[in-house]
């Protein structure tokens, strides 16, 4: 049951049409709210930079026999790729040096989805805006033979860990 009596006539102020100023104000509010909603939706779809990296930066990557010459293994959660060539094993960070987005591996290198930086297979910048190459990370070996990557310790590009069998 309604609080207002049925059949009662509306007052003149209730019948007054909305003014042009009120209409424009309402339209502007709706336009701003719609623009904000669209912007937030677009932001959620954008690849997010790695602003809050894992706390555990030292991690095991397996044994030397897991990496024959030519092997390549991406550790997606760690944002690191480990590669082996005839000179040794090396780890490259997958975090773009521009604003920290995670790069994706391509046939001949890495592409950043955020602003278009491109890196070659060794992490060197081929196209900006990334200001620096992808960092190379320290690889070491435990006494039981298992290999480790320390994502907190950068090494000069080209530093490869010699695997002894
Ligand atoms: S974060 Fe990679 S190009 Fe901007």
Instruction: Answer yes or no: is the C-beta of 114 below 6 A from any ligand 1 atom.
Output: yes
Report the chain's mean pLDDT, rounded to a whole number.
83
Structure confidence by residue, pLDDT tens digits, 68-102: 999 999 998 889 999 999 999 999 999 999 999 99
Residue of the nearest CA to atom 1 in ligand 1? Answer: 99
Q: What is the pTM of this model?
A: 0.66
Sign of the CA dihedral 142, 147, 148, 149?
Answer: positive
Q: Is the CB of 115 under 6 A from ligand 1?
A: yes
Question: Are 82 and 137 found together in one domain?
Answer: yes
Domain range for residue 134? 58-155
Looking only at the bridges linking them, the beta strands covering 125-127 and 72-75 are unpaired
In short, whether 98's Cβ falls inside 6 Å of ligand 1 is: yes
Domain CATH for 144: 2.102.10.10
């Amino acid at each position: 049951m309604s609080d207002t009596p049925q059949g009662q006539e509306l007052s003149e102020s209730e019948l007054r049409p909305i003014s042009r100023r009120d209409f424009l104000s309402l339209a502007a509010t709706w336009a701003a709210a719609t623009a904000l909603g669209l912007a937030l939706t677009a932001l959620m779809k954008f690849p997010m930079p790695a602003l809050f990296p894992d706390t555990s930066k030292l991690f095991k990557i397996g044994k030397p026999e897991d990496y024959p010459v030519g092997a390549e293994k991406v550790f997606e959660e760690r944002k690191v790729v480990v590669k082996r060539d005839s000179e040794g094993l090396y780890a490259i960070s997958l975090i773009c040096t521009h604003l920290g987005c995670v790069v994706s591996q391509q046939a001949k290198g890495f592409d950043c989805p955020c602003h278009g930086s491109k890196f070659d297979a060794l992490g060197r910048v081929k196209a900006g805006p990334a200001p620096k190459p992808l960092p190379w990370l320290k690889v070491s070996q435990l006494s039981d033979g298992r290999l480790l990557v320390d994502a907190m310790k950068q090494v000069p590009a080209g530093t490869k860990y010699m695997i002894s069998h």
